[in-house]
């Protein structure tokens, strides 16, 4: 037990050291990039008269020590401004593999902004350059860090088609057939590649994916997210309560795979989350046992929805989910408005059913309450 406690303390101290080092780098970069310090650095080398030459010499020696840091900070700031303005940049890259056929690669960096003003980890695509049979340059994807939700291979085939090499089978092996290429030149004519279109489509699909993920996180935050073992006591959930806990597959701030659940809310929703990593379909579950699913389009609109209850499909709730402006951000406003109208209608029915002819219509000849039986059958 003592060894476990010691390992835990060591890991905690190391994590704190990493946090402090990261904070030091951020503060250093902020100070070096600040305007007052940049102005002082530019004033360190003015044209001075001979009488003040010794004083300026001393200032020059003082600023010479931090001059490289200022230059690197300024270059880093310009790079960040460029990436913020254009979000897609290119850079040359050298393949570290000693057996690489084409060590000189072209790198593409894609930066995606989130709704809270931060940026995700950049996505990289390394392109390999070559020449086709006609001597024209061709590019192909060598490596990339784009998630599987974007079909990079399919986009490469569509936007970066490579010229076909004529082959024929000799003794079970394929070899190039020059004669066939001469007889049928149209069949092996290289197609035009569109590198800008390829990068544009990859970035578009990444942006759409992050927008859908942000929309699901926004809905969960509106309802309230309870993390297991962290804030479940304050939310009123017992420690041995197993139902309702789900793993966060979107990787929120708490971390990927952490068990969470929806806090108790006025809408009666006990579960809300994507059905897969693509976050195209979102699953809903209510306290009364109803289960729903709706689809988020690439523009943030709820395209269609299905809600199932004990009596089959709930068409009215489906119309509420897809109605109004259709935006996923205003989904809960539509649900609350629908719930308020239902409560008002229920109150009007109860007022008409108290006494008089309204009360007699609810009973049969045997005095049984058919209205209550109808309510029990619905529940």
Provide the pLDDT for residue 205.
95
Interval 336-357 mean pLDDT: 69
Interval 308-320 mean pLDDT: 90
Q: Tell me: pLDDT of 373 over 80.
A: no
Residue 52, burial from CB neighbour count under 10 angstroms (0-12, 13-18, 19+): exposed
Interval 329-340 mean pLDDT: 89
What residues have CB less than 8 Å from 309, skipping those under 6 apart?
288, 289, 290, 291
Q: Tell me: pLDDT of 118 over 70.
A: yes
Provide the pLDDT for residue 108.
94
Break the chain into its structural domains and give their ranges.
79-222, 223-351
Provide the pLDDT for residue 196.
93
Q: Tell me: pLDDT of 194 over 70.
A: yes
Q: Tell me: pLDDT of 89 over 50.
A: yes
In order of 300, 317, 333, 334, 338, the CA distances from 325 in angstroms are 11, 15, 11, 9, 14
Count, residues in the chain: 379
Q: Tell me: pLDDT of 78 over 90.
A: no
Angle between helices 152-159 and 195-223 (to 10 degrees): 150
Q: What is the CA radius of gyration of the chain?
A: 32
Number of Cβ within a 10 Å radius of residue 357: 7
Q: What is the pLDDT of residues 147-165, one digit of tens each?
A: 999 999 999 999 998 776 5
Provide the pLDDT for residue 203.
95
Stated pTM of the model: 0.68
Interval 289-309 mean pLDDT: 92
More confident residue, 347 or 268: 268
Q: What is the pLDDT of residues 204-243, one digit of tens each?
A: 999 999 999 999 999 988 888 877 655 555 445 554 454 5
**Contact status, residue 167 vs residue 177, Cβ threshold 8 Å:** yes
Average predicted confidence (pLDDT) for the chain: 76
């Amino acid at each position: 037990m003592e060894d476990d406690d010691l390992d835990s303390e060591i890991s905690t101290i190391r994590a704190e050291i990493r946090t402090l080092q990261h904070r030091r780098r951020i503060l250093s970069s902020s100070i070096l990039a600040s305007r007052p310090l940049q102005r002082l650095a530019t004033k360190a080398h003015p044209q001075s008269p001979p009488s003040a030459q010794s004083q300026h010499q001393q200032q020059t020696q003082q600023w010479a020590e931090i001059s490289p840091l200022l230059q690197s900070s300024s270059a880093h700031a310009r790079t960040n401004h460029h990436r913020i303005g254009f979000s897609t940049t290119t850079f040359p890259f050298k393949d570290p593999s000693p057996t690489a056929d084409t060590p000189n690669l072209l790198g593409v960096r894609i930066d995606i902004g989130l709704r809270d003003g931060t940026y995700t980890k950049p996505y990289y695509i390394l392109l390999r350059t070559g020449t086709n049979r006609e001597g024209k340059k061709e590019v192909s994807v060598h490596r990339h860090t784009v998630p599987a939700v974007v079909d990079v291979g399919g986009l490469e085939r569509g936007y970066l088609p490579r010229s076909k090499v004529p082959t024929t089978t000799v003794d079970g092996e394929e070899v190039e057939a020059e004669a066939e290429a001469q007889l049928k030149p149209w069949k092996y004519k290289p197609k035009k590649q569109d590198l800008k279109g390829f990068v544009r489509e990859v970035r578009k699909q990444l942006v759409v994916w992050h927008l859908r993920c942000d929309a699901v996180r926004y809905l969960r935050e509106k309802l309230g997210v309870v993390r297991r073992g962290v804030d479940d006591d304050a939310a009123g959930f017992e420690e041995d309560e197993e139902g309702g806990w789900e793993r966060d597959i979107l990787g929120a701030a708490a971390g990927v795979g952490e068990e969470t659940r929806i806090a108790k809310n006025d809408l009666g929703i006990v579960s809300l989350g994507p059905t897969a990593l693509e976050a195209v379909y979102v699953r809903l579950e209510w306290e009364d046992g109803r289960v729903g699913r709706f689809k988020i389009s690439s523009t943030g609109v709820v395209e269609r929805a299905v809600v199932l209850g004990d009596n089959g499909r709930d068409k009215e709730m489906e119309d509420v989910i897809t109605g109004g402006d259709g935006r996923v951000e205003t989904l809960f406003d539509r649900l609350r408005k629908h719930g308020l109208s239902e409560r008002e209608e229920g109150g009007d029915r109860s007022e008409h059913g108290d006494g008089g002819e309204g009360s007699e219509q609810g009973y049969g000849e045997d005095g049984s309450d058919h209205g209550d039986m109808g309510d029990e059958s619905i529940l």
